[in-house]
Structure 1
Amino acid sequence: MPSLILVVFIFQLLIHLVSTFGGQTINDLLWLLYTKLPTPQAKQAAAGVQLRKEVVKLNREMTNTSAQDDFSKWAKLRRQHDKKKAEYEKNAQSLQSFRSNFDRIASTLRWLGTSGVRFLMQFWFSKQALFWIPQGWAPYYVEWLLSFPRAPLGSVSVNMWWIACASVIKMASEGLVALWTLKTGEVKVGEKKGEKVKMDFGAGMGQAGEKKEL
């Protein structure tokens, strides 16, 4: 059985990854995988793609057909176009309705599998000592803080260990992002995502190398 210390770290890493990539991105990936399975929605999605191609094709033929010179052909294409478009919209609306329910269920399961498990573990193991600190190594208030809320005094509680794991993972993630940004010269996360990194070392060196005139 894996150590509780390692389990907490892995769960916090999973929570961090979910937060980093975003819930909607994960939902999109799950939906893509779901539509690759032999499900009714997979067939419905494939039918929607085919209907869309037919609508585009008929619309192109209508554009290339003169309503004045060949009205009968144009009218026939128009009827076919309107029929296929109505079928496409009905199919898309039905699929979108199912997708909304799918996203809602996926978001709930994702929360239960990450943050829900975290809250449950913090409550269930709140009285258990994950590991002990050396006696006399820290003053009483530090020992009390490390054992918060209900672990034995002188030990590290699951809550404090979870906070420590979250802090270390966040700092490591920010460090990796910073290194990657410096390597590629492009911002990967945040409001300035996609922008080039501008680093003007010459200006700073020029100011530092200036001599004061008396």
Structure 2
Amino acid sequence: MADPNLAVLIFLLVLLTQVVAWIGKSVLQDVAAAAYGRVFLGSLDKEQRRLRKQVLEDKAELGRTSSQDQFAKWAKLRRKVDKGLADLEKTNAKLSAARSTFTSRFSTLIWLSTTGAQFALMWWYRAQPVFWLPEGWVPGPVGWFLRFPSAPRGG
């Protein structure tokens, strides 16, 4: 006799797979990445915004300064802008690496919870029938093929 828990487990797994397919892996990934970014990368985001604002202010001041008349001030501002851009680039690289790592791990999690779980379920319950057909409903070779590789006869 088929296990009713197996049928519920199959139903829930198929439901999860269909919900993921309906919503879309990329949408789920974007939502999860945004939540992850707010929770775990908030300090890097703040640092990035602060550096971007500072670089823009310094560039505006550099544009207002004459390189010929106020060379010392202009050179100091130029070095400050260059340092700010380098720091901003480092912060952007850190954020990008963290988001890329999260994306690959989340994608793996989605695969494991849908496709990987289906494979595991099929392997674990490979000898247990999901439903039974009465003897004689399916001719010999077709019945053998349907129960292949290890289900009992009629299952």
Q: TM (normalized to structure 2)?
A: 0.75
For these two proteins, the number of residue pairs brought into alignment is 151
Summarize deviations over 1:100-150 as a string: whole Å, max 9, x none: 333333333333222222111111100111111244333233322332221
In the aligned structure 2, how far is the partner of 1:99 from the partner of 1:146? 45
Report the counterpart of residue 188 of structure 1 in structure 2. Answer: none
> Cα distance 1:11–1:61, how it changes in 2: closer, same or farther (>3 A)?
farther
Give the ranges of 4+ consecutive aligned residues of structure 1 lying more than 6 Å apart after TM superposition: none
In the aligned structure 1, how far is the partner of 2:10 from the partner of 2:63? 62
Report the counterpart of residue 50 of structure 1 in structure 2. Answer: 50
Summarize deviations over 1:158-186 as a string: whole Å, max 9, x none: xxxxxxxxxxxxxxxxxxxxxxxxxxxxx
Q: Which AA in structure 2 matches 1:12?
A: V
Gaps of 5+ in 2: none
Work out whether 1:12 is the aligned partner of 2:14: yes
* CA drift at 1:64: 4.1
Q: Which AA in structure 2 matches 1:123?
A: W
> Cα distance 1:66–1:134, how it changes in 2: closer, same or farther (>3 A)?
farther
Report the counterpart of residue 139 of structure 2 in structure 1. Answer: 139
Q: Which secondary structure state, in structure 2, belongs to the residue aligned with residue 132 of structure 1? A: coil
In the aligned structure 2, how far is the partner of 1:99 from the partner of 1:133? 51
Report the counterpart of residue 74 of structure 1 in structure 2. Answer: 74
In the aligned structure 2, how far is the partner of 1:137 from the partner of 1:65? 91
In the aligned structure 2, how far is the partner of 1:50 from the partner of 1:89? 13
In the aligned structure 2, how far is the partner of 1:120 from the partner of 1:78? 60
Q: Which AA in structure 1 matches 2:88?
A: Y
Report the counterpart of residue 126 of structure 2 in structure 1. Answer: 126
> Cα distance 1:70–1:16, how it changes in 2: closer, same or farther (>3 A)?
farther
Gaps of 5+ in 1: 156-214
In the aligned structure 2, how far is the partner of 1:60 from the partner of 1:9? 61
Q: Which AA in structure 2 matches 1:76?
A: K
In the aligned structure 1, how far is the partner of 2:85 from the partner of 2:105? 30
* CA drift at 1:89: 1.5
Q: Which secondary structure state, in structure 2, belongs to the residue aligned with residue 150 of structure 1? A: coil
> Cα distance 1:17–1:60, how it changes in 2: closer, same or farther (>3 A)?
farther
Q: TM (normalized to structure 1)?
A: 0.58
The correspondence of residues 76-115 of structure 1 with structure 2, limited to 5 A, is 76-115=76-115
* CA drift at 1:32: 1.3
Report the counterpart of residue 199 of structure 1 in structure 2. Answer: none
In the aligned structure 2, how far is the partner of 1:12 from the partner of 1:131? 17
Q: Which AA in structure 2 matches 1:28?
A: D
Q: Which secondary structure state, in structure 2, belongs to the residue aligned with residue 131 of structure 1? A: coil
- Specify which structure has the higher proportion of helix: 2
In the aligned structure 2, how far is the partner of 1:60 from the partner of 1:147? 75
Report the counterpart of residue 63 of structure 2 in structure 1. Answer: 63
* CA drift at 1:73: 4.1
